[in-house]
Amino acid sequence: MRCLATIPLIALALLTFLTGCTTNPTTGRSSYYALSREEEIAIGQQSKPSMIAEFGGEVARADLRQYVTDVGMRLVATIGQDDPSMVNLPWEFTLLNSDVVNAFALPGGKVFMSRGLAQRMTNEAQLAGVLGHEIGHVTAQHTSERFGDAQRTGLIAGIGSILVGATLGVDVSGLANQASELTLASYGRDQENEADALGMRYMERAGYNPIGQLQVMQILASLDKNGRPPEMLSTHPYPEKRIENIQGKLRNEYAATQNNPNYRTGEQEFRANFLSKITIAYPPNREEDPALRTFALSRGLCSADCAHCVNN
């Protein structure tokens, strides 16, 4: 009989694959999570620069980037109640300088949101809704779970050897590329509902009105109807079903947060500290984005003498 030490590493990886269902403390759900915590962190760190490059770089203004980071970290401060180890991930919130309407997350705590989405929001609770949803994909280990599914169905060839290499501290760029592709593919319906639910959980804990989650879904749905489907709905699909689920939660689980001053939407702060500044820094163009320009003007986000809004 062969002793364990002589079993090749690849066979050990396979053994883990066959038997390695674990329970995620945040979701309470048992599944096969193909990546170790170290691999998740390495993938996030290695993929981040190419994701930023693909979406036009970061927004230049530090105060706008910091605003998004502050809201994100307020939510992160609440996730330890489910799983203390998640708080210590190298969390980073990146505001992408892109007109597309999108947000996504890489495993290991890297969250991205486009300027095009941020400029269509009207309050801080909506921002918390998007960031909370993306944080939920990370804490629920959805990418790791999708790697597991991909292995089962043979979509990722040769992952065993890459995984072994990564475990031994070798370059994980092969995995990172695959993670980027998976990140920009669409999540399943169960994962989307789970991320919405986790986002609302974090919002409530951080003192945000979870209605922001509903409002941001309604913004995406209205963009979809008006003939320019936001990219976010291709990575995060099933808007109608999700709206129904979120409405149900607001009526039941989160009923006490509605019309309750302890749970804020943060409309004034969002407008003063973020929306008016980003509108002036990145004025929506009349030809390229007439709907966004109308939105900005109708809310008086530019003063009457603002050359951008009058002439652009």
Letters for 106-135 (x = contact with Zn ion by CB under 5 A, - = none) are ------------------------------
Toward Zn ion, which CB reaches closer, 201 or 236? Answer: 236
> With contact defined as beta carbons under 8 Å apart, do 105 and 199 qualify?
no
CB of 137 to Zn ion, least distance (A): 6
Tell whether residue 236 is a contact of Zn ion (CB under 5 A).
yes
Q: Within 10 A of 100 (CB to CB), how many other CB atoms are there?
A: 14
Task: Tell me the site size for Zn ion, rule CB under 5 A.
Answer: 4
Buried b (16+ CB within 10 A) or exposed e, 227-239: eeebbbbebbebb
Q: Which stretch binds Zn ion (CB under 5 A): 16-24, 63-71, 156-164, 232-240?
A: 232-240
Toward Zn ion, which CB reaches closer, 236 or 271? Answer: 236
CB of 111 to Zn ion, least distance (A): 11
CB of 264 to Zn ion, least distance (A): 24
**Rounded to an integer, what distance in angstroms lies between the CA atom of residue 98 and that of residue 112?**
11
Alpha helices by DSSP H, listed for 168-229, are 173-183, 189-205, 211-225
Toward Zn ion, which CB reaches closer, 145 or 192? Answer: 192
CB of 235 to Zn ion, least distance (A): 7
**Rounded to an integer, what distance in angstroms lies between the CA atom of residue 87 and that of residue 84?**
6
* Closest CB to Zn ion: residue number: 236
Toward Zn ion, which CB reaches closer, 110 or 236? Answer: 236
Residue 154: HSE in the Cβ half-sphere, 13 Å Cα cutoff? 0
CB of 142 to Zn ion, least distance (A): 8
CB of 259 to Zn ion, least distance (A): 28
Toward Zn ion, which CB reaches closer, 207 or 237? Answer: 237
The token duo for 75 is 């939510």
CB of 195 to Zn ion, least distance (A): 5
Toward Zn ion, which CB reaches closer, 79 or 195? Answer: 195
Q: Which stretch binds Zn ion (CB under 5 A): 153-161, 203-211, 235-243, 245-253?
A: 235-243
Toward Zn ion, which CB reaches closer, 192 or 204? Answer: 192
Alpha helices by DSSP H, listed for the chain, are 9-19, 37-54, 62-76, 84-87, 115-118, 124-139, 142-152, 159-167, 173-183, 189-205, 211-225, 232-235, 239-251, 267-270, 276-281, 290-298, 307-311
Residue 94, φ and ψ in degrees, nearest 5: -110, 125
Which residues between 155 and 214 bind Zn ion (CB under 5 A)? Answer: 187, 192, 195
**Rounded to an integer, what distance in angstroms lies between the CA atom of residue 45 and that of residue 286?**
37
CB of 236 to Zn ion, least distance (A): 3
**Rounded to an integer, what distance in angstroms lies between the CA atom of residue 108 and that of residue 123?**
27
Toward Zn ion, which CB reaches closer, 160 or 239? Answer: 239
**Rounded to an integer, what distance in angstroms lies between the CA atom of residue 37 and that of residue 47?**
15
Angle at 239 between CA 90 and CA 72, to 5 degrees: 25
Site residues (vs Zn ion, CB under 5 A)? 187, 192, 195, 236
